[in-house]
Amino acid sequence: MSEIIVVTSGKGGVGKTTTSASLACGLARKGKKVAVIDFDIGLRNLDLVMGCERRVVYDFVNVIQGDCTLKQALIRDKRLENLSVLAASQTRDKDALTSEGVKKVLDELAADGFDYVICDSPAGIEKGAHLAMYYADRAVVVVNPEVSSVRDSDRILGLLASKTAKAEAGGSRVQEHLLLTRYSPRRVAAGEMMSVEDVKEILGLDVIGVIPESPDVLSASNAGTPVILNDGSDVAAAYEDAVSRLLGEQRPLRFVTEPRKGFFARMFGG
């Protein structure tokens, strides 16, 4: 049985696709069989972040409309053989996604032995976002530590509680996790950014990861390499921690305080 994880947010540009790619790679590196699906019909980016844009022949909508099989559309990652990507269509309308079609694809992935399916949701509350979360078992809500991002994510939490298959069935609800991106302890200390505790208190969610602000994210995206594979960077380490917590491991939160300056840095202002 596959576990379906939606990566979602209320606001665009907070790092959902970067997070989807990194979580998928992290789970695959731990030996899990993983598929990651781009639900952003018309504006696909996941294939770029994953570095497989030139290998897209068939897409998510092609599978739903019967133009190809799921196996034909899945792109096997060249770095991790147990990771596959299903790209979104760039040319179709968002209405091309249907609830029945999405369920058929998810059921087929489960039948093929995938342990995890990561659904990379578009921002907001439009149809693609709703379908990305509808069949989810868990949700990773990606938030920047700023008021507008937190407020918009509160709306998403309302939808997760009321507009999913689990909510409509009246049984167990979607398990929600909070992941903070572009976090800067220096800016928090200066009062320019909300703290982890601030966001946690407003949204009422446990934090599964805190991703530090870093130019590594943009560099990795431009190179078509998920940033979690950039071994040695703080961002990669933070995403690895998040993956471990998803799998139930206990990890202390890192990158939430400013590193202490050394003696000479304090003396000479370095």
Question: 44-100 pLDDT, tens per residue?
Answer: 899 999 999 999 999 999 999 999 999 999 999 999 999 999 999 887 776 788 999
Q: pLDDT at position 262, please?
A: 55
The percentage of the chain sitting over the pLDDT mark of 70, rounded to a whole number, equals 95
pLDDT tens for the chain, 270 residues: list them: 899 999 999 888 999 999 999 999 999 999 999 999 999 988 889 999 999 999 999 999 999 999 999 999 999 999 999 999 999 988 777 678 899 999 999 999 999 999 999 999 998 878 889 999 999 999 999 999 999 999 999 989 999 999 999 999 987 889 999 999 999 999 999 999 999 999 999 999 999 999 999 999 999 999 999 999 999 999 999 999 999 999 999 999 999 998 665 545 555 555
* DSSP H helix total and E strand total for the chain: 13, 8
The two structure tokens encoding residue 23: 């979580």
Q: pLDDT at position 263, please?
A: 47
The two structure tokens encoding residue 22: 């990194």
Place of tokens 């993983």: 34
Q: pLDDT at position 72, please?
A: 98
Long-range contacts of 165-172 (CB under 8 A, 24+ apart): 165/134, 165/135, 166/136, 166/137
Q: pLDDT at position 140, please?
A: 98
Q: pLDDT at position 110, please?
A: 98
Place of tokens 């398990």: 175
For residues 263 and 196, give the distance between their C-alpha atoms in angstroms, rounded to a whole number.
Answer: 28
37 contact partners, CB below 8 Å, separation of at least 6: 60, 85, 86, 105, 117, 118, 119, 120
Burial bucket for residue 235 (CB in 10 Å: 0-12, 13-18, 19+): buried
